[in-house]
């Protein structure tokens, strides 16, 4: 446990880190095909899909959380589907937090990947095709290495953004210790209780984590630029 945090705050922080890790991994895996399609397609629906992907950037978190609450709740389509499958509605559960976080952080994964795939360009793929490399081989051996800066940036942005989520998390998961109480909600509880010392300890921990993540991505991107500039 982290010595300067209480056991409950340490549990909330670990839950936040767990949620951010799962969210980052799932989003990168699931949105890579979408980002690749958006980067390559000339479909007329592309602006519409890009607008839908970017919508969480401008929507109030409570609006998104409200509609997810209706959808995932017992009377919503998602909740009813879970009950038909023998499960429970996803509201006020960790699984519900993962779904809500993935939707809320969607643009932070798709947009860096899309930009990276666009920057990779078609010339390298054409050269690989002339060497008889198949589509899958070209994607893994050419596109992904060229897009590594965007992948790293997307991963860090999603992870850091998930750590700071509040409104969506509170709407979907509530405030259940060891189940849905993440660090941001624990800070809010401390402020409401006028326990500013505990709020400061947990807040400065999140600041340190976020700064370390951003410092790491800027350092890696600088190294990639230097490597790319060398003949």
pLDDT digits (tens, 9 = 90+) for 151-168: 888 999 999 999 989 999
When comparing pLDDT for 222 and 111, which is higher? 111
Burial class (CB in 10 A: 0-12, 13-18, 19+), 221: middle
| Of the listed ranges 59-63, 94-98, 218-222, the one predicted with least confidence | 218-222
Higher pLDDT, 107 or 40: 107
pLDDT exceeds cutoff 60 at 75: yes
State pLDDT tens for residues 196-210.
999 999 999 999 999
What are the residues whose beta carbons fall under 8 Å from the beta carbon of 103, sequence distance 6 or more? Answer: 56, 64, 68
Tokens 């922080």 appear where?
A: 13
Is residue 229's pLDDT more than 70? no
Decide if 190 contacts 199 (C-beta within 8 A): yes
The CATH number assigned to the domain with range 7-222 reads 1.10.3720.10
CB-based burial, 182-218: b 16+ in 10 Å, e otherwise: bbbbbbebbeeeeeeebbebbbebbeebbeebeeebe
* The predicted structure's pLDDT at residue 192: 94
Q: How confident is the model at residue 132, as a pLDDT?
A: 60
Task: Answer yes or no: is pLDDT of 193 > 90.
Answer: yes
pLDDT at 86: 76
Q: What percent of the chain has pLDDT over 90?
A: 56
Residue 146 has a pLDDT of 77
Residue 23: pLDDT band by 50, 70, 90 thresholds? very high
| In the predicted structure, residue 230 carries a pLDDT above the cut 70 | no
Q: pLDDT: is 170 or 140 the higher one?
A: 170
- As a whole number of angstroms, the distance between CA 221 and CA 223 comes to 5
Q: How far apart are CA 79 and CA 137, in angstroms?
A: 40
Each residue of 100-148: pLDDT tens digit? 999 999 999 999 999 988 887 666 666 655 656 666 666 767 777 778 8
The predicted structure's pLDDT at residue 108: 94
């Amino acid at each position: 446990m982290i010595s300067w945090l209480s056991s409950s705050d340490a549990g909330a922080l670990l839950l936040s880190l767990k949620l951010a890790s799962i969210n980052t991994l799932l989003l990168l895996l699931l949105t890579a095909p979408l980002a690749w399609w958006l980067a390559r397609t000339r479909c007329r629906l592309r602006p519409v899909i890009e607008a839908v992907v970017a919508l969480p950037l401008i929507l109030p978190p409570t609006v998104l959380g409200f509609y997810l609450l209706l959808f995932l709740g017992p009377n919503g389509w998602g909740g009813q589907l879970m009950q038909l499958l023998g499960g429970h509605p996803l509201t006020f559960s960790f699984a519900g937090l993962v779904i809500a976080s993935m939707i809320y952080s969607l643009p932070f994964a798709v947009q860096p990947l899309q930009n990276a795939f666009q920057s990779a360009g078609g010339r390298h793929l054409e050269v690989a095709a002339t060497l008889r490399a198949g589509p899958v081989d070209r994607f893994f051996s050419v596109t992904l290495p060229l897009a590594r800066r965007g992948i790293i940036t997307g991963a860090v942005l999603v992870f850091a953004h998930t750590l700071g989520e509040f409104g969506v998390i509170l709407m979907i998961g509530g405030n259940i210790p060891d189940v849905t109480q993440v660090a941001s909600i624990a800070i809010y509880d401390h402020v409401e209780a006028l326990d500013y010392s505990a709020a400061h300890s947990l807040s400065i921990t999140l600041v340190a984590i976020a700064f370390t993540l951003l410092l790491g991505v800027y350092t890696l991107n600088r190294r990639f630029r230097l490597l790319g500039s060398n003949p």
